[in-house]
Every structure is written in C-alpha cells, then in structure tokens.
Amino acid sequence: MPDRLSARATLALVTDEFAELPHPARRSGPDGPLAWQGYDASRARAADRTGEDESVVCGTARVEGTEAVLIAFEFGFLGGSLGERTGDRLQAAYTHARDHRLPVVALIATGGSRMQEGMVALAQLQRVARQSVLVREAGLAQLAVLRDPTTGGGWATLGAGADVVLALPGAQVGFAGSRVRPAGADPAAYTAEAQVAAGAADAVVHPGELRRTLGRWLRLLTGPSAEPAPPPRPLGATVLPASGWEAVLRARSPQRPRAQEYLDAYFTERAAIGGDRCGGTDDGMLCGFGAHAGRTVAYAAQTGTATRPAGYRTAARLIRLADRLGIPVLTLVDTPGAASDAEAERQGAGAAIADVFGAVAAARTPVTTLVIGEGGSGGALALAAPDNTWATPDSYFSVIAPELATAILKRPPEEVQSTAGQLRIRPQDLAELGLARTSERLFPGTGDRRP
C-alpha cells in the first residue's frame, strides 16, 4: 500500500497559494439524515484526527502557472466517503469552475458513498455527474488523479468520468473496494497499473512528477484555437513517385520516417492519452496533445501497423475531446488497413471505425491530415479530413491494396504493379482527383497540387 498523503499535503505537492472556496452550511438533524446513532460522534472524531470538517477540500490555485479549481479528498475523514455535505462542496466547486472558466482537477482518495447516510449519500453521485456534465458542456477540461484508494462511486464519477485520468503508483483503483470483491478476486486487477493497461486510465505518474505533469496537461488543455494545424513537413522523400508501384514500395519501406519521428519534429512538448475507456489499448495509435508554434494541437497518429478497434476508439475519444475544448486536430495516416482478424471482429472493428468517421465528420474544430505512409482503405480514410488532407511523396492512398485488388480481379500476380498504376494511388493522383493536397511550399520538388 502506498503512503497516503492528507488532502492538504497532496494540494501542497502540486499547487501554489491554494485558496479554499466557501461552501454552503447545511443543517441536519442529530446523527444525519438517517438519524444513524453515533454518526455525529464519528464525524467529530474524524475532524479531530484530520483537522477537516468534511471529506473534501475544494479551492483554487495555480499549477505550474495555470489557475484551476482543485478538489482534494481527505481519506482520513471517514474513508474519504461521499455524503450530503460532500455533495454540497463538490457542487459549489464545479459551479465556481464554470463561473470563472477554470479547469477542474480532482485529487481522489475515497472508499465510496457514506453508509451512515444511506441512499441520500448514494444520490450525491447523480449530483456530481450532473455538475461534471455542465463543466463539460462549458468546454472546460477535467483531470483526475487517482490516489490510494479510489473505489466505488468516486471512481465511477469524478475518476473515470474525467477527460484525462492519471494515477499514483500502486494505488488501489476499482469500482469494488477491497471488502466487497468476490472471494478469490485477483488483487492485481484493482490497481492503477491494471487500469492503465486496460485503457481506463491514461498514465501512472510518480508523486515527484505530479506537479510538472499536471502543469503540462493544464497548459495544453486550456489553449483553444480556431486556426487549423499546419501539416508537418515531410521527413523522407521530397520527389513524387514515378509510378503507383513505386509509391507502394516507398510507403512500405522500413527506412521511411514513422509517426514517432513526425511527432518529435512537430511538437516542442506533448502529453499522451492512452486507452479507449472500454477495456482496450492499441500501441499502433498514438494520441494526445502537444505544443506547436506556441499553441496546442491534438494528434491521432497511426504507426504503420494494422489499427485495432481500441486504437480507433481512442482516436475518436481524442477528437471529441479536442472538439469540445476548441483545439485543432492533426491526424497522421499510416496503416495497411484495419485489423481484420477474428478477435478484432469480436472487439467491434466496424463500430470502432464508424466511431472515428463520425467524430471527424461532426468535429467543429479544424482537422488536418497528413498521409505519411500507407493509406489502406477505410481503416485509413476514417482518420482523414475530407477537405484538408495532405500526402507526402513517400505515401499512397488506395481503396484496397494492389495485391488484393489483383486477386479480386482474378489477374495473374505479375500484374500487381500495373494494377497499382490503374488504381491511381500516388500523391499527385490523389491531388488530381481532388482527394488530397501536395504543395511546393511544404514539399519542395512536388509542384503545387490542390484539390
């Protein structure tokens, strides 16, 4: 079990000049809404032990220069449980965030809802969910830090419902607390590390890195811009391919620059999100937010592998978040196609691809696409901006791989190369067809071709 810092010690770890927010004073009868015998005495003992009069401390502060509303749970106060007064304070904090256009950071350590208040306590989760939705609709970012433990309704609202979910090493994280799990349940499944591996959280962050990490995220998520992201300059070939088959060979070359190199060259700093929030991750899809030329750009980048359903769902999550926060999006297309194995079908490949198509189509924020390698059918097209797609000289985009097209057309294998030409998959072909752009300004030697 990791060391458990108090709420105020955790706040001091990540903030400067924390100022507590006022909160409503609720009056209730003796021993709370259920008249639970001994409840007032339990609260008094918790207050003596912790110096707090409730399980949350809410206020404002700057984190590495960015002002935010912070919510810190005090686990020493009745296990950080949520009660009616907790709900009052959380609602006041979210309201302040909306009124002052501030992001929200929740530093969570809770065992769930307070039994001594029964259903009144459980109903606070609905209040929290409503407040979170209102903040989301206001276009404000929400971050969560999962401390030890983060279980029950606190995990299922403030934690899992945040835009970005970070966790401290070894923290117990799960809907079921340690005393209510099935007998024989694997304790390793209820950890921060397991939640990251399952795509339910974005990263595990060491306490010593937490302030810097939160500061980076807050800087990136509070920088809206209406201008499209400029396409990155090509890092490989600068002369357009002479034939369709040459385009295919260039795109498949192991020496060609990949997404990681493009991201490194394009951004001065970046922070990655991970996971589809549905139980899956895909290393073949890199998603996150970065700083380019002084402003924030979100990115979803394929890495040259067949994209898994979890990758598409993560990209859709990224695009929708960027759209809500008013941040432009850059997508890098590079895949032979969507994963087509039986497991991919069981994981909902079609629905996941449709999710990305829908996210791009619905985006109000500008989306820029650069094809940097293989553009394999619908699995690549899903990430492409319909009116702002660019193609590097070592890329191609095709309705189907030339080899598969040859087989479907019942042509002999030696006609693969000529079939590639017929498909018109070169960058300059795409520009002439009105489907992509090349530019002398960005890609010296290519000429200027626009749809």
**What is the DSSP code string of 257-304?**
--HHHHHHHH-SEEEEE---SSS---TTEEEEEEEETTEEEEEEEE-S
DSSP H/E element including 90:
helix 84-99
Percent of the chain with pLDDT over 90: 88
Q: For 258-265, what is the mean pLDDT?
A: 97
CA angle 155, 158, 160 (to 5 degrees): 55
Handedness of CA 27, 29, 34, 39 (dihedral sign): positive
Question: Could you give phi then psi for residue 218, rounded to 5 degrees?
Answer: -65, -40
Q: For 6-11, what is the mean pLDDT?
A: 96
Cα 178 to Cα 190: distance, rounded to the nearest angstrom = 9
DSSP H/E element including 105:
strand 104-110
Q: Is residue 139 within 8 Å of residue 102, measured between CB atoms?
A: no
Confidence of residue 26 (pLDDT cuts 50, 70, 90): confident
Q: For 283-304, what is the mean pLDDT?
A: 97
Confidence of residue 443 (pLDDT cuts 50, 70, 90): low
Percent of the chain with pLDDT over 70: 96
Confidence of residue 445 (pLDDT cuts 50, 70, 90): low
Question: Could you give phi then psi for residue 96, rounded to 5 degrees?
Answer: -60, -40
Q: For 53-74, what is the mean pLDDT?
A: 97
Range with lowest mean pLDDT among 125-134, 173-182, 193-202, 377-386: 173-182
Confidence of residue 189 (pLDDT cuts 50, 70, 90): confident
Give yes or no for residue 1 having a pLDDT over 60.
no
Per-residue model confidence (pLDDT) at position 376: 92
Range with lowest mean pLDDT among 165-179, 346-360, 373-387, 389-403: 165-179
Cα 393 to Cα 241: distance, rounded to the nearest angstrom = 7
Give yes or no for residue 2 having a pLDDT over 70.
no
Give yes or no for residue 321 having a pLDDT over 90.
yes
Give yes or no for residue 297 having a pLDDT over 70.
yes
Per-residue model confidence (pLDDT) at position 385: 96
Q: For 56-67, what is the mean pLDDT?
A: 97
Give yes or no for residue 184 having a pLDDT over 90.
no
Q: For 285-290, what is the mean pLDDT?
A: 98
Among 68, 80, 142, smallest CA distance to 108 is for 80
Q: State the pairing for strand pair 329-335/295-302.
A: parallel
259-278 CB burial, b ≥16 within 10 A, e <16: beebbeebbeebbebbbbbb
Per-residue model confidence (pLDDT) at position 451: 47
pLDDT digits (tens, 9 = 90+) for 80-128: 999 999 999 999 999 999 999 999 999 999 999 999 999 999 999 999 9
SS3 29: coil
pLDDT digits (tens, 9 = 90+) for 324-353: 999 999 999 999 999 999 999 999 999 999
Q: For 350-373, what is the mean pLDDT?
A: 97
On the CB side of 398, CA atoms within 13 Å amount to: 28
Amino acid type, 111:
G
Q: Is residue 148 within 8 Å of residue 4, measured between CB atoms?
A: yes
Confidence of residue 438 (pLDDT cuts 50, 70, 90): confident
- Global pTM reads 0.94
Give yes or no for residue 449 having a pLDDT over 60.
no
Give yes or no for residue 280 having a pLDDT over 50.
yes
**How high is the mean pLDDT of the chain?**
93
In the numeric block, the tokens 């006609």 are attached to 415
